[in-house]
Structure 1
Amino acid sequence: MSRALPLWRSLLYVPVTSQRFVEKAAARGADVIKLDLEDSIPPTEKPSARAAVRDAARLISDAGTEVLVRINRPWRMASLDLEAAVWPEVSGLCLPKLESADHLGFLDEIVEELERERGMTVGSIRFMGLIETPRGLNNVREIAKASPRLMGLSLGQEDYSAALGMPSLGPEDLLEDMRLVQRAAREADILPLGYAGSIAEITDMDAFRGSAKRARALGMEGGSCVHPAQVPILNEVFSPRPDEIEMAEAMVAAYDDAMAKGLGAVSFRGKMIDVPVVERARRVLVLHDRIAARS
């Protein structure tokens, strides 16, 4: 990854109108709290939710946890949400149902106007995008490259499966679609996020862990959740294991030593290693250091 991307292993949704949840949000251990203005807020409560955003974001960000705000999709609602959410206390926006590069570009333009009006650094508000419709998936490569604000992209499992008319969502039903989003994210040098199982799985934590582990094995970097019990699972799964760290440290040391001696071939624990393998090990160590710094 050539640009500095955020550490987003776990992104916990919190309804912004629930003061009790907001007050406890920063203590949940999530890398990011996503204050929700969308699905968890009934239409009649949208105005009060918008009014609560800045104070909620300040409370959470002052406690040292990053804040994103998930806005609504219809343009008239989205415009009101942006007015309520673009503040220094908010580090980014979660954008649902992205369907085209133009869609993302319009949002980017509005956010820049608000940043300038409010004396904020232009570009300080980052984006996380959700692909939740067939049209969005068909345009995912263009969407992924449409704005330098876009830091990560995820398949929105529940909305996307509903849009496809799927009666239920199994742990592997959306693997193919998730991988399309992942490849688009990697091509655009942003974070691939998410897992193929249901985000609403809050009773069978073994099943939830399985979905997260499959996603990590495929190269995903983190995922969203709706319950605090899911947070430690995501943090654990999307962090390097002790054995991975030990292996990476030893491999990098062996490779660097061989290069310093001018050796053209490097053997490590019975296998030949080359640049791509070592770079993967270096990424493990960088991630480990970033997690340690945050802790």
Structure 2
Amino acid sequence: KGIVYPGAETSADIEEADSILSELETGRGIASGVLQIIALIDSGTGVWNIREIVTASPRVCSSGLDELNLCRNMGIIPYADFDPFVYAKGRIVVETRAAKVQPIGISHPYGVLPQFDDADEIYQQALRGKNLGFAGAICPDPSWVVQCNTAFAPPADRLEFFRETRRLFAEGVAQGTAAVPYPGTTMMIDVPVDENARVNLELWELCAAREAEKAKAIEKQESTMA
């Protein structure tokens, strides 16, 4: 719940939005801090000031580039074979993750030249976005939703690996060692590997809970229409 804020360039922009949302919460009996802000950056100034933007208010939950408007702001004509925003995307990912905020975006060229008729390519572009460091994407069309959800969620075929990683590492720590081998591989499980497994399992649980919530809502809607 909250707003998408396009065009934020400074912390003052976010602080003003925060103040307006606080007044709205008070006036409508909404719990304080419930309404969130997704900050979309569409100017060079915004990219430069991304750190102050994403740390200006605890309401900021996500941030990403509005690539089409950023092209206009910077006088760029987008082409499919060249990504003009490698630096800008890197800034978004690094600064938002450092601030514990979710970076959102997708791989080039779909940020500037989105397509809607190839489900597999949408999935691949979202997966590349995930591997650039993004944690989600804004879907401009319903045809993106399933593919993006699948790409950004932890892969189902890795869940048992993550669970076993956590189990083995916990056993190793209990025995006084900080690194243990994963059976049948050359991989060693240490703190970063265990932490990655923990994060993926927690994300999977959140995704599963959200899917269950959506299924329940759809079932309720269908029952009222029957």
200, 213, 228: which one pairs with 2:142? 228
Which protein has greater RCO, CA pairs closer than 8 Å, 6+ apart?
A: 1
Q: Which residue of 2 aligns with 1:272?
A: 188
Residue 171 of structure 1: how far off its partner (Å): 6.6
1:247 to 142, 147, 161: 161
Q: In the alignment, is the contact (CA less than 8 A) between 1:175 and 1:196 conserved in 2?
A: no
User: What per-residue deviation string (whole Å, max 9, x for no partner) do you get for residues 156-205 of structure 1?
Assistant: 12111222222224376123211111111011111011124334321344
CA deviations 1:119-159 (Å, max 9, x no partner) are: 22121111111011111001001101000000011111211
Conserved in 2, the CA contact under 8 Å of 1:244 and 1:284?
Answer: no
1:211 and 2:125 are equivalent in the alignment: yes
For 2:97, the equivalent position in structure 1 comes to 186
Residues in 1 aligned to 2:204 and 2:27: alpha-carbon distance in whole angstroms: 38
SS of aligned partner of 1:94: strand
- Assess if the C-alpha contact under 8 Å between 1:172 and 1:196 holds in 2: no
The CA distance in 2 between the partners of 1:116 and 1:237, in whole Å, is 38
Give the strand-richer structure, 1 or 2. 1
More helix, by proportion: 2
> Which of 198, 206, 222 in structure 2 is aligned with 1:282?
198
The one-letter amino acid paired with 2:201 is L
State the shift of 1:273 in Å.
2.1
Rounded Cα–Cα distance in structure 2 between residues aligned with 1:194 and 1:148: 21
Instruction: Name the count of aligned residue pairs.
Output: 205
Please name the residue that 2:42 is paired with. 132
Match of 1:195 among 106, 126, 131: 106
Unpaired runs of at least 5, structure 2: 213-226
User: What is the SS of the residue equivalent to 1:170?
Assistant: coil
- 1:184–1:107 CA distance, 2 compared to 1 (3 A): same
* Percent of aligned pairs sharing the same letter: 30
Residue pair 1:196, 1:211 contacting (<8 A) in 2 also: yes
Aligned residue type for 2:89: M
SS in 2 for 1:224: coil
TM value normalised by structure 2: 0.84
User: Where does structure 1 differ by over 4 angstroms across 4 or more consecutive aligned residues?
Assistant: none
